[in-house]
Amino acid sequence: MTGLGRIGLVAVRELRAERREPDGIVAAVTFIAVLVLLESLVVGPVVARDADIAPALFWIALAFATILATMRSFDRELEDDALEGLVALPGGRDALFGGKVVAIAVVLAIVALVGGLLSLVLLDLPLALPLHLVVVVVLGVVALPPVVVVDVVLALRLRARAALVPILALPVLVPQLVAASRGASAAIAGDAVGALSWAGLLFAFAVVYGVIGLTIVPAAIE
């Protein structure tokens, strides 16, 4: 079986497990929905509709949702003692990283869809370039998981890892969050060139951190 085949296999297995026990996705969707509802209440409806504020809060929420979903995914592996078997297979460590990234990106796409629709409807955001926004969101969703999966693997089986993972992941995610927030703001405001430029950067981040993860994560999994 090829490397891509193994990654696909782990991703499908992961998504099946998520469908059987959807606590990770439920937690992430609930988290982002509550944040969208609170946003309008806390900053007021006028500020909440600001083309810079709403995307920034949305992407910060999505970054935390990524951490939630990834930690839940690895918790499930540890509870079932499935990790040892998986990494013992030939190419299992690469497949574990790649498969987790793909599966978490799919989960995150669902979370982003729900959170995005709630933001557009409840905050009544005036959206100028919907297709550009979709491109930014898709690439943003792909750019976040590689960093978070690396950090969750590093913090695996450590005490206080619930606090440690955000401390490790969020500073590294700053460029992705800047690009995703600015890209979404540009799409909302009608700046097509700006939106696509930020989308290109998000794609570059996804590739760079994906390659880094595939190169060094196997060494981190004991």
Residue numbers at the binding site for another protein (CB under 8 A): 147, 150-151, 154-155, 158-161, 164, 167-168, 170-172, 174-175, 178-179, 182, 201, 205, 208, 212, 216-217, 219-220, 222
Distance CA 38, CA 15 (A): 30
Q: Minimal distance in Å, beta carbon 187 to another protein?
A: 16
In the bound state with another protein, the residue whose beta carbon lies nearer, of 24 and 183, is 183
Q: Minimal distance in Å, beta carbon 179 to another protein?
A: 7
Spatial contact of 125 and 40, defined as CB atoms under 8 Å apart: no
Is residue 131 classed exposed, middle or buried when 0-12, 13-18 and 19+ CB atoms within 10 A define those classes?
A: exposed
In the bound state with another protein, the residue whose beta carbon lies nearer, of 54 and 165, is 165
The amino acid occupying position 161 is R
Q: Minimal distance in Å, beta carbon 93 to another protein?
A: 13
Interhelix angle 145-154/92-122, rounded to 10 degrees, is: 130
In the bound state with another protein, the residue whose beta carbon lies nearer, of 82 and 212, is 212
In the bound state with another protein, the residue whose beta carbon lies nearer, of 81 and 222, is 222
Q: Minimal distance in Å, beta carbon 108 to another protein?
A: 20
In the bound state with another protein, the residue whose beta carbon lies nearer, of 88 and 163, is 163
Q: Minimal distance in Å, beta carbon 173 to another protein?
A: 9
- Rounded to a whole number of angstroms, the distance between the first and last alpha carbons of the chain is 23
Question: Which string of b and e fits 81-91 if b means at least 16 CB within 10 Å?
Answer: eebeebbeeeb
